[in-house]
Amino acid sequence: NILYIFLLSQKFPLPSLLFFHLIYSMYQDYDKIYILMDSLEEKVLRVEARSPEVVNAYRTKLEAKVSELLEDTQIDDNRIAAEVILFSDKICNDEETVRLHSHIRNMKKMLTTEKEGIGRKLDFMAQEMNREANTILSKSSDLEISNIAIDLKTEIEKVREQIQNVE
């Protein structure tokens, strides 16, 4: 900001000032995107942390329900384990979170190394990130993960808005 104020105080011709303003604005947009990437990373980590808790809660709930229905009958642990495995496969979002981490890392790298012509690449990556967030949301049977996925989608939309400024 000090550099920006300094440049404005100098007697540069108007086209030069406009150029400086454009460059300054572009770097501010890069910073905003980078900060949003950190926020997205935190949300993905929360999804990863919550997922095992959902499976454990399902197992506990399933065991309680089966015990209630069968009362005196012995429960086959193998059958419950099989049901829990089926459930965990159905809601598993490991692939999506791995891809989101990868997209976030790649976006950060592009923001720090490539400075020209990255708008379209960033926009494409944001679309891919949105697909991953949609998949997490559609697989989720847990309110907390659903809410995090909605937050992910909201943050990704903010990223896309900032990317429009970069292009």
What pLDDT does 141 receive?
Answer: 85
**pLDDT tens by residue, 25-40:** 555 677 888 889 999 9
Spell out the residues 6+ positions from residue 74 whose beta carbon is closer than 8 angstroms to its own.
none
**pTM greater than 0.75 (yes/no):** no
DSSP, collapsed to helix, strand or coil, labels residue 45 as helix
Indicate the pLDDT class of residue 167, thresholds 50, 70 and 90.
low
The answer to whether 163 and 33 are in contact (CB under 8 A) is yes
Model confidence at 120: pLDDT above 80: yes
95-117: average pLDDT: 89
Distance of alpha carbon 4 from the chain centroid: 32
